[in-house]
Amino acid sequence: MKKESYLYKKLENNKVQCSTCSHRCFILPEKYGICGVRKNINGKLYALNYGKAISSNIDPIEKKPLFHFLPKTNSFSIATVGCNLRCGNCQNWQISQLVKTDKNLLRIGQELTPKDIVQRAIENKCQSISYTYTEPTIFLEYALDTMKIAKKAGIKNIWVTNGFMSIETLKLIKPYLDAVNVDIKSFDDKFYIDICGAKVNPILENLKWMKKNKIWIETTTLIIPNFSDDEKMLKNIAKFIFKELGSETPWHISAFSGAISYKMQDIPNTPLQTIQKAYKIGKKSGLKYVYGGNISGTSMKNTYCPKCNELAIERVGFYVKKLDKQGKCAKCGKNLNIISN
pLDDT at 289: 98
Q: pLDDT per residue over 8-46, tens digit each?
A: 999 999 999 999 999 999 999 999 999 999 999 999 999
Write down the domain spans for the chain: 3-47, 52-322
Say what the pTM is. 0.97
Q: pLDDT per residue over 231-283, tens digit each?
A: 999 999 999 999 999 999 999 999 999 999 999 999 999 999 999 999 999 99
pLDDT at 293: 85
Which CATH superfamily includes the segment(s) 52-322?
A: Aldolase class I (3.20.20.70)
pLDDT at 187: 97
Write out the chain in H/E/C secondary structure: CCEECCCEEECHHHCEEECCECCCCEECCCCECCCCCEEEECCEEEECCCCEECEEEEEEHHHCCCCCECCCCEEEEEECCCCCCCCCCCCCHHHHCHHHCCHHHHHCCEECCHHHHHHHHHHCCCCEEEECCCCHHHHHHHHHHHHHHHHHCCCEEEEEECCCECHHHHHHHHHHCCEEEEECCCCCHHHHHHHHCCCCHHHHHHHHHHHHCCCEEEEEEEECCCCCCCHHHHHHHHHHHHHHHCCCCCEEEEECCHHHCCCCCCCCCCCHHHHHHHHHHHHHCCCCCEEEECCCCCCCCCEECCCCCCEEEEEECCEEEECCCCCECCCCCCECCCECC
pLDDT at 219: 98
| Omega before 65 within 30 of 0, i.e. cis | yes
In the chain, which stretches have pLDDT less than 50? none
CA dist., res. 207 & res. 140, Å (int): 18
